[in-house]
């Protein structure tokens, strides 16, 4: 009965945007097309990046190199830099890509890499591929560029009728998504973290600490990321873009696209402070071995692609399991940055257990005013009071720039620039986890995720500095319990005096009404 109720509820909530929002598991028609497997090159293959890293790898046996990319501008320049520094292979795996300036400039860099002989493999989740499907289908014609879509909603053989039928009959599977984010160059260096590809992720005007976070990785850990990428690329859920769309061989369209992309490149090239120039500078530094890295023991925590084909109740999460292992040995502190935080009762009990062991637990997530997904906030608020009363140090981010973000439905479009989107965890000031994993049921049971765990006090210190900045009264509310066990949101005003509010601050009437209406829906396991 509960499954039926949940099915009908999901239909009610998502029906309006379902055809464009989500994708079901690969159809039998798509699976009928055998795929030619391909794999990452060996790290022993000669490349400039590999040559530059060789001495450091030899001097730090069993370790990998890292550099935290704190801002959107740094993260974007690093991506362009890696693409331009690659000599043999580029692998890109993302949940979503938008048809906008930063994505198109990056795609032009990818085309230029392919033209100089670099093999490019681009893997996108099927949820938003319609936004860029035509562009990708044209780029797929280029030599050395190969594009696949993971877990597509339907193939071009299914037609509109097939899409509608799958939407109404396979509602339980619509939430299964590939949430992984990684860019890998020559199997030597990679970028992993919370950012997808789109202007919102690289907005320079919102370079607030922990708005989002990526990390540059080098050395042996990159090979493990490549192994994970190969698993997804060669999985039956990954279908060539041509299976989704009838290939368009119109030479005029291809020429027009190339002219448009080249013009955008030339325009960016002429601007001294453009992201392209910064990316080229970063590429030169990579080629000159002039990018400082912190070397540490690390590992990759990645879901297998088969997660989307299993029942959610049977799924296990490598990032969550490893985080629990670290916390079972923790001695004094756990810090969590999770934009979508739905601990459920099991998580509440676990966190209270940490407090009872004497650990300090500090968490920051989005406030109702800052979140871009009110429906997820409803799952979080049910447990907030118990956590605060037990002694958890809880913070909620204020809207960045004071502007409440637009709402999106379970992952549609990019997160608003006013919201927190980073996912990072710190244990005892020495162990960190950075990647795509949120502390919520969706990351644990439905989405596939990938994260790095790094055992480095130096990197932990950088992240703790960012945590202290984002949880300052200027950027966040401190949520506490008063003498009547009610909740109070504390912050400082312009005169540095403590201001207390007893309702969700700055949320507004409509957003508060949405929250109360959505809170009655029995969909917590899908949040």
Statement: residue 23 has pLDDT above 90 = no
* Whether residue 131 lies in the annotated active site: no
Predicted pLDDT of residue 415: 52
Residue 406 pLDDT class (50, 70, 90 cuts):
low
State CA 82 to chain mean position distance. 19
Name which residue leads in pLDDT, 6 or 99.
Answer: 99
Predicted pLDDT of residue 410: 45
- Judge contact between 66 and 216, C-beta under 8 A: yes
Predicted pLDDT of residue 134: 85
Name which residue leads in pLDDT, 499 or 245.
Answer: 499
For residue range 282-340, list pLDDT tens digits in order.
Answer: 999 999 999 999 999 999 999 999 999 888 888 889 999 999 999 999 999 999 999 99
Separation of alpha carbons 501 and 495, rounded Å: 17
Q: Could you tell me which residues come within 8 angstroms of residue 76 by beta carbon, excluding any fewer than 6 positions away?
A: 102, 202, 275, 278, 279
Predicted pLDDT of residue 14: 43
| Token digits of residue 288 | 């000159």
Predicted pLDDT of residue 254: 81
Judge if pTM exceeds 0.85: yes
* Whether residue 423 lies in the annotated active site: yes
For residue range 121-163, list pLDDT tens digits in order.
Answer: 999 998 888 888 888 988 988 999 999 999 987 665 555 566 6
Predicted pLDDT of residue 157: 58
Separation of alpha carbons 513 and 382, rounded Å: 16
* Domain 36-147+177-287 in this protein, CATH class: alpha beta
Show me where the domains of the chain are located: 36-147+177-287, 299-526
* Whether residue 98 lies in the annotated active site: no
Catalytic residue among 98, 224, 398, 423: 423
Residue 22 pLDDT class (50, 70, 90 cuts):
very low
* Whether residue 496 lies in the annotated active site: no
Statement: residue 400 has pLDDT above 90 = no
Predicted pLDDT of residue 200: 86
Catalytic residue among 146, 166, 181, 307: 181
Predicted pLDDT of residue 497: 80
For residue range 276-295, list pLDDT tens digits in order.
Answer: 999 999 999 999 999 999 99
* Whether residue 99 lies in the annotated active site: no
Catalytic residue among 421, 431, 440, 525: 421
Query: Reduced to 3 DSSP states, what percent helix, strand and coil does the chain have, rounded to the nearest 5?
Result: 45, 20, 35
Predicted pLDDT of residue 414: 45
Separation of alpha carbons 495 and 36, rounded Å: 65
* Whether residue 179 lies in the annotated active site: yes
Label residues 475-489 b or e (16+ Cβ within 10 Å = b): bbbbbebeeeeebbb
For residue range 101-125, list pLDDT tens digits in order.
Answer: 999 999 999 999 999 999 999 999 9
Statement: residue 522 has pLDDT above 70 = yes
Q: Selecting from 3.40.50.150, 2.60.40.180, 1.20.140.90, 3.30.870.10, what CATH number does the domain 299-526 have?
A: 3.30.870.10
Residue 16 pLDDT class (50, 70, 90 cuts):
very low
Predicted pLDDT of residue 325: 97
Catalytic residue among 253, 428, 455, 506: 428
Predicted pLDDT of residue 170: 62
């Amino acid at each position: 009965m509960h499954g039926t109720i949940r099915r009908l509820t999901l239909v009610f909530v998502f029906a309006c945007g379902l055809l464009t929002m989500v994708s079901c598991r690969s159809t039998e028609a798509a699976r009928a097309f055998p795929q030619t497997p391909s794999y990452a090159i060996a790290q022993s293959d000669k490349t400039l990046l590999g040559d530059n890293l060789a001495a450091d790898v030899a001097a730090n046996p069993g370790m990998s190199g890292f550099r935290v990319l704190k801002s959107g501008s740094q993260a974007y320049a690093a991506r362009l830099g890696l693409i331009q520094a690659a000599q043999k292979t580029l692998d890109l795996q993302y949940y979503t890509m938008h048809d906008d300036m930063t994505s198109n400039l990056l795609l032009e860099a990818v085309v230029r890499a392919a033209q100089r002989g670099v093999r490019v493999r681009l893997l996108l989740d099927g949820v938003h591929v319609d936004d860029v499907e035509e562009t990708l289908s044209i780029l797929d014609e280029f030599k050395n560029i190969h594009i696949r879509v993971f877990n597509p909603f339907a193939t071009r053989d299914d037609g509109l009728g097939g899409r509608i039928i799958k939407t109404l009959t396979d509602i339980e599977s619509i939430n299964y998504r590939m949430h992984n984010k990684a860019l890998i160059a020559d199997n030597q260096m990679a970028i992993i973290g919370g950012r997808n590809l789109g202007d919102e992720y690289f907005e320079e005007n919102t370079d607030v600490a922990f708005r989002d976070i990526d990390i540059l990785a080098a050395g042996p850990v990159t090979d493990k990321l490549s192994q994970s990428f190969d698993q997804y690329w060669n999985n039956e859920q990954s279908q060539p873009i041509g299976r989704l769309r009838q290939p368009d061989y119109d030479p005029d369209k291809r020429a027009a696209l190339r002219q448009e992309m080249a013009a955008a490149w030339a325009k960016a090239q002429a601007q001294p402070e453009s992201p392209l120039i910064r990316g080229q500078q970063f590429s030169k530094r990579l080629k000159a071995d002039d990018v400082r890295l912190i070397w540490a023991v690390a590992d990759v925590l990645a879901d297998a692609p088969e997660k989307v084909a299993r029942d959610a109740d049977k799924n296990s999460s490598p990032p969550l399991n490893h985080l629990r292992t670290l916390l079972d040995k923790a001695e004094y502190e756990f810090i969590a940055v999770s934009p979508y935080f739905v601990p459920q009762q099991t998580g509440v009990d676990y966190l209270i257990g940490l407090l009872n062991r004497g650990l300090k637990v500090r968490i920051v997530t989005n406030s109702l005013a800052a979140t871009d997904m009110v429906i997820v906030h409803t799952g979080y608020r049910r447990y907030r009071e118990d956590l605060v009363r037990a002694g958890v140090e809880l913070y909620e981010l204020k809207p960045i720039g004071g502007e409440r973000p637009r709402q999106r439905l379970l992952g549609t479009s990019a997160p608003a620039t006013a919201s927190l989107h980073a996912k990072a965890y710190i244990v005892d000031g020495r162990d960190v986890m950075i990647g795509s994993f949120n502390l919520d049921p969706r990351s644990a049971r439905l989405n596939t995720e990938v994260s790095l765990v790094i055992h480095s006090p130096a990197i932990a210190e950088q992240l703790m500095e960012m945590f202290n900045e984002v949880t300052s009264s200027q950027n966040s509310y401190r949520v506490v319990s008063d003498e009547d066990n009610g909740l109070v949101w504390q912050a400082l005003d312009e005169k540095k005096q403590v201001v207390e509010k007893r309702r969700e601050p700055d949320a507004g009437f409509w957003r508060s009404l949405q929250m109360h209406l959505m809170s009655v829906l029995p969909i917590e396991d899908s949040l």
